[in-house]
Amino acid sequence: MMKELIFKYEQYPSTRKLSQNQRLVLKEAKKALKKSYSPYSGFQVAAAVELANGKILSGANFENAAYPLCLCAERVVLAAAAAEYPNVKILRMAITVKSKEHPQTKPAAPCGACRQVILETEQKQKNPLELILQAEKGDVLVIPQGGTLLPFGFDADALAGK
Ligand code: THU
């Protein structure tokens, strides 16, 4: 039997249609680009999260001369939230990118590893984690449930044989 998955997201030409909170978290992500430690790729990625207690945390990619150890901005900020507020739900995450080489106008989506961690976060907190993506300028994508970026992701059910 052929089955189909439907993936829903919003796309806007600017931030005008975003709510105040969405705009604020995106602004914090853009401010966090300066935290990027990316001497090897020259590609800055920053992410900010809004927590259910009203706090906003941000982080950026954190590279290493041993390349596979590079940490993505998304997982840096999710780890920071887990360290500071382990039991507080994460409502939304904004992600932005900037490159030394060329101006970025296309929103960059989280890599596969980050999608896996976003999915786990949603399952842990039993609440959707909204993603807001915009490059330096250009289109804005809003993905209401970040885990939907990873259909058939590996999860605790698999470990339990469910
Ligand atoms: N990067 C992120 O921070 N997030 C992603 O989802 C994809 C890639 C970083 C890792 C590395 O520092 C640089 O972007 C180039 O891959």
CATH of the domain at 138: 3.40.140.10
Q: What is the pTM of this model?
A: 0.97
Domain assignment present for 98: yes
> pLDDT at residue 100 above 90?
no
Domain assignment of residue 19, given as a range: 10-159
Task: Determine which residue's CA is closest to atom 8 belonging to ligand 1.
Answer: 72
Query: Rounded CA gap, 82 and 118, in Å?
Result: 12
Domain assignment present for 84: yes
The share of the chain scoring above pLDDT 70, in percent, equals 100
Domain assignment present for 2: no
- pLDDT recorded at residue 112: 97
| Residue 120 contacts residue 155 (beta carbons within 8 Å) | yes
Total domains in the fold of the chain: 1
> pLDDT at residue 93 above 90?
yes
Query: Rounded CA gap, 6 and 39, in Å?
Result: 39
What are the residues whose beta carbons fall under 8 Å from the beta carbon of 51, sequence distance 6 or more?
A: 57, 81, 85, 88, 89, 90, 91
> pLDDT for 55-90, tens place per residue?
999 999 999 999 999 999 999 999 999 999 999 999
Residue 114: CB within 6 Å of ligand 1?
yes
Domain assignment present for 4: no
> pLDDT for 13-69, tens place per residue?
999 999 999 999 999 999 999 999 999 999 999 999 999 999 999 999 999 999 999
Residue 43: CB within 6 Å of ligand 1?
yes
CA 66–ligand 1 middle distance (angstroms): 14
Query: Rounded CA gap, 23 and 17, in Å?
Result: 9
